[in-house]
């Protein structure tokens, strides 16, 4: 009976590892490229596993922007400047004009960005970036 239990345990670990990897893989996106979108926030869903921003560009195209998870944004205060602090549910609001940099989809008709590198609110200079001087990249 022990070999069966061990085999089941190994299978569960492998399946969970595969699910976690699949969740964070983006085969439909050009992860070696970056795109910049500027627009006005239509809506923001501040939750886990990802914060999702609906962003209307100047040409009226609405983009779905997938950011880090809410817990991650709250806990990594050093990614915000000019004053370090957490990204909270009220940091960005509908109506805010922002510039986002992330990985574009392989299909240009899909209006999405993932693996964000930068979120900037030009009005007041607020900036979130995953590029920190002490680390190559954390996102």
- Helix and strand totals (H; E) in the chain: 2, 7
Q: Is pLDDT above 50 for 10? A: no
Which residues, at least 6 apart from 106, have a Cβ–Cβ distance to it below 8 Å?
A: 28, 29, 30
d(CA 52, CA 73): 12
pLDDT tens, 90-104?
Answer: 999 999 999 999 999
Rg (CA), the chain: 18
Higher pLDDT, 48 or 131: 48
Domain regions of the chain by residue span: 31-129
Quote the pTM value.
0.78
CB environment 70-101: b (16+ within 10 A), e (fewer): bebbbebeebbeeeeeebeeebbeeebebebb
Element (H, E) at 102: strand 97-103
CB 130 within 8 Å of CB 137: yes
* pLDDT-based confidence at residue 105 (cuts at 50, 70, 90): very high
The closest of 90, 54, 88 to 72, measured between CA atoms, is 88
CATH code, 31-129: 2.40.50.140
Rounded to a whole number of angstroms, the distance between the first and last alpha carbons of the chain is 43
> What's the pLDDT at 20?
40
């Amino acid at each position: 009976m022990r070999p069966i239990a061990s085999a089941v345990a190994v299978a569960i670990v492998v399946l969970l590892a595969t699910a976690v990897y699949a969740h964070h893989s983006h085969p439909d996106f050009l992860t070696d490229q970056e795109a910049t979108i500027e627009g006005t926030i239509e809506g923001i869903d501040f939750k886990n596993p990802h914060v999702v921003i609906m962003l209307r560009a100047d040409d009226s195209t609405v983009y779905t922007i997938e950011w880090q998870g809410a817990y991650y944004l709250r806990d990594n205060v050093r990614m915000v400047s000019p004053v370090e602090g957490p990204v909270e549910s009220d940091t960005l609001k509908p109506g805010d004009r922002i510039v986002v940099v992330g990985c574009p989809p392989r299909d240009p008709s899909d209006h999405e960005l993932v693996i964000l590198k930068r979120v900037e609110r030009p009005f007041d200079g607020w900036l979130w970036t995953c590029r920190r001087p002490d680390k190559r990249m954390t996102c």
